[in-house]
Structure 1
Amino acid sequence: MTGVEEIQVVVAHSERATLRVGDVFLKIDADQARADVEVEAMGMAPIPTPAVLWRKPSVLALAAVPGTALGRLGKPSTASPAAWAAAGAAVRMLHDAPLPPWPGRSLDQIATDLDAECAWLLANAVLPPELVTRNRQVAEAALRPWTPVFTHGDLQLSHVFVDGDEITGVIDWSEASRGDALFDLATLTLGHEEHLGDVIAGYGADVDLDVVRAWWSLRSLLGIRWLAEHGFDPSAPGCEVDVLRARI
């Protein structure tokens, strides 16, 4: 069809899909509440976010942010140490901002989910028992009370965009909530432990490294079943299963 640009499927699974048409991203979500959270969180965040172009039921249109992603899970990042530090500084700005009005997952809920996922991994022989057991032990350090901050909630490095050493935008805010600051830092550096020091330098605060490592284990244990059921491969090089193996 003349005049219709190529449509790129960015991600698609049974819960939601993201399409790119030129410089516009169309996010289609079966859960309208997630889109509501995303729009409100972007409006509150003190760091660059995509511009909302329009909304209709189940569809949210966002402008593309400039720059390139900080990296991808399972692949080396070509971003500079200064860019990683800038990402840490942006996360600190977010965490220092006023809390969103809605809560996040409770500590008890996370612990219950972790027990359930570990039981599933063992019952279905998805991973060696010693790998699950050891990482369940490591994850325990994250299960402690924390002071809630404004968290992004899904701060994968592919959601942080940079131009040179500057942050140009942070995308995908549907999981934003009150939560543990170290969860965001762990998500950002998952599979890229070599850049943790740069992120912390930009973050500019004392960080309990054992808790960050605990969140690496916890997030990976929680994510494996969902990833497998939605067409992703958590055992790809550098991804969740390798993150778990690194804790042995």
Structure 2
Amino acid sequence: MEEVEVVVAHSERATLRVGEVFLKVDADQSRIDVEVEAMSLAPVPTPKVLWRKPPVLAIAALPGATLGRLGGPSTGSPAAWAAAGAAIRKLHDAPLPPRTGRAGRSIVALAAELDAECEALVANGVLPGDLVTRNRQVAEAALRPWTPVFTHGDLQIAHVFVDAGEVTGIIDWSEAGRGDALYDLATFTLGHEEHLDDVIGGYGTDLDLDLDVIHGWWSLRSLLAVRWLIEHGFDPFAPGCEVDVLRARM
């Protein structure tokens, strides 16, 4: 008899695995709408949608394995990371989707959110002031004009599956839409800076890949994530996770 595996669960959504089927339960059906639409438009491998009955989306498991996870070792070869970079470039070169995604928030709105979050992190004693101040300075590089591309919006390494050096699928598209290409690249290499060159090698160097902007997104994403992770039962202080990413900028 197959068992039910809880892949991830918090107050907003949960993902369960039963055999070769993943069941995504989401309180906000608009996120599932975005996910299904993005998977139908993306020019890269995505999971097969088996059925949908709100609030549940059923998708098929993908072959292969992820390149690792934030806070854990990378299990992928340099060639696998480069293959992921090539797949990300293919996505970014695709026609723009109709929606603006998480990676496409306005600079003004993002800066205001970041400043409020930095203030809360220090005021509530979550992080020391010098750590927050330094990373707010680094994050400034990400707050600049950008040309919109088709972005995934939550391209964690745990969302990319690879087999024999080929990308077999990318999951979790609920934040997809028009956005900043460097946001995706930064999210994918967050906590695994040693593989950034491999990813860029596969992605291509013909575009303006400003490393200061990627570093800025590392800091910005981590600053915005810390309190949310704590409030939803995750540990951003675990080795290699968001707080270590922030400390690496000091």
TM-score w.r.t. length of structure 2: 0.97
Residue 191 (structure 1) aligns with: 191
Give how far 1:112 is off: 1.4
- Alignment partners' CA distance in 1, 2:45 and 2:67: 14
Residue 168 (structure 2) aligns with: 168
- Alignment partners' CA distance in 2, 1:225 and 1:126: 8
Give how far 1:168 is off: 0.6
Give how far 1:221 is off: 0.2
Give how far 1:103 is off: 1.6
SS in 2 for 1:168: strand
1:98-247 matches, within 5 Å, as 98-104=95-101, 105-205=105-205, 206=207, 207-247=209-249
Give how far 1:5 is off: 2.1
SS in 1 for 2:50: strand
- Alignment partners' CA distance in 2, 1:164 and 1:109: 42
- Alignment partners' CA distance in 2, 1:199 and 1:5: 37
- Alignment partners' CA distance in 1, 2:159 and 2:137: 29
Structure 2 unaligned residues grouped into runs of 5+? none
Aligned residues between the structures: 245
- Is the deviation greater in 201-210 or in 83-92? 201-210
- Alignment partners' CA distance in 1, 2:50 and 2:75: 31
- Alignment partners' CA distance in 1, 2:215 and 2:187: 10
Give how far 1:113 is off: 1.2
Q: Which amino acid aligns with 1:175?
A: E
Residue 17 (structure 1) aligns with: 14
- Is the deviation greater in 74-83 or in 193-202? 74-83
- Is the deviation greater in 87-96 or in 102-111? 102-111
The answer as to 2:23 corresponding to 1:26 is yes
Give how far 1:106 is off: 1.7
- Alignment partners' CA distance in 2, 1:167 and 1:76: 19
TM-score w.r.t. length of structure 1: 0.97
- Alignment partners' CA distance in 1, 2:195 and 2:50: 34
Structure 1 unaligned residues grouped into runs of 5+? none
Residue 45 (structure 1) aligns with: 42
- Alignment partners' CA distance in 1, 2:164 and 2:220: 32
Give how far 1:164 is off: 2.2
- Alignment partners' CA distance in 1, 2:71 and 2:156: 12
- Alignment partners' CA distance in 1, 2:111 and 2:61: 36
Large movers: runs of 4+ above 3 Å: none
- Alignment partners' CA distance in 1, 2:108 and 2:178: 15
Q: Which amino acid aligns with 2:124?
A: N
- Is the deviation greater in 132-141 or in 113-122? 113-122
- Alignment partners' CA distance in 2, 1:107 and 1:64: 36
SS in 2 for 1:97: coil
Residue 75 (structure 1) aligns with: 72
Q: Calculate percent identity across the aligned residue pairs.
A: 77
- Alignment partners' CA distance in 1, 2:216 and 2:181: 13
Give how far 1:116 is off: 1.3
Q: Which amino acid aligns with 2:89?
A: R
- Alignment partners' CA distance in 1, 2:107 and 2:83: 29
Give how far 1:203 is off: 0.3
SS in 1 for 2:73: coil
Alignment RMSD (CA, Å)? 0.7
